[in-house]
Amino acid sequence: EQYKFFHYELEFIEVFRERNGFDVAVGNPPWINIELDEAGIVSEYNPEVYVRKMSAPEVKKIALKLLEKNEELKAVYFDENIWAEATKEFLGGVQNYYYLQGQRNNLYKCILNNSLLIINENGFVGLVHPEGIYDDPSGQEFRKFIYPRLKYHFQFKNELLLFSEVHHEMFYGIHIYSGKAGEINFININNLFHPSTIDGSLIHSGNGSVGGLKIKNEQTERMEWNTLPHKNRVARITKQELDIIAKTFENNTTGEATKLVGIHSVEIINIFRT
């Protein structure tokens, strides 16, 4: 009644009965951790919190004083606290999100997990989400789950502020997943700043230099973020490449759950091989 829980299998029963899931799912899930926003709650009654950008301990002191005097704030505070704690418990439940155990909660991980469960074997999921799943120390089981389904991974850094509401140093990716697990085999491009680099790189002849993260603009003589396409920016990652990465960076012999490092060009993979 309060949260309007949505069950895809019940709302779209004919899709699951006739097709065993959806053919396509596309989205940009929320990139947020579930936690009590104490500063946000208190600032509604004391704007000084945001104006002075107070630290968490300072907010806590003010909150304790306000809670003693303001019954309305106390009710809101406890409702929000119950929501945050209950939601974290649900998201952390092994029966709800087995592959996310031990990781810091973030809604995009839950939506990625759910999306792969509601897609049929011939379907595909396309999501824009952060890169934390690839370097989380506790994310081995999740990486084992997603690597056999990952088909395209395009990693961006937000330096050109394509997402104006997040920090310019934020890393995120465009990801295409298959509904059916298979041999690990996906296209990978790292260090992107604009989507045009993707299409250009996939049809590039291979002539010329790849360039680094920045290249010199001959007209302005200033260093700019490299958005030029190149064939060698496109790296195909299989189990063999993941094994090489695991051995190089983690002293591990198998790469099925290894952390995915940034690979600027195929030359980097060749260096790892040697």
Cα-flanking dihedrals φ and ψ of residue 83, to 5°?
-60, -50
The residues, ordered by sequence, that sit 6+ positions from 92 with a Cβ below 8 Å of its Cβ are 100, 101, 105
The tens digit of pLDDT for each residue in 115-128 reads 999 999 999 999 99
Q: Identify the residue whose tokens are 């899709």.
A: 15
The tens digit of pLDDT for each residue in 80-108 reads 999 999 999 999 999 999 999 999 889 99
Q: pTM for the complete prediction?
A: 0.90
4 backbone φψ class: left, alpha, beta (φ>0; ψ -120 to 50): left
The tens digit of pLDDT for each residue in 173-199 reads 999 999 999 999 999 999 999 999 999
The residues, ordered by sequence, that sit 6+ positions from 131 with a Cβ below 8 Å of its Cβ are 155, 171, 172, 173
Contact 38, 60 (CB under 8 A): yes
251 backbone φψ class: left, alpha, beta (φ>0; ψ -120 to 50): left
Handedness of CA 74, 83, 143, 154 (dihedral sign): negative
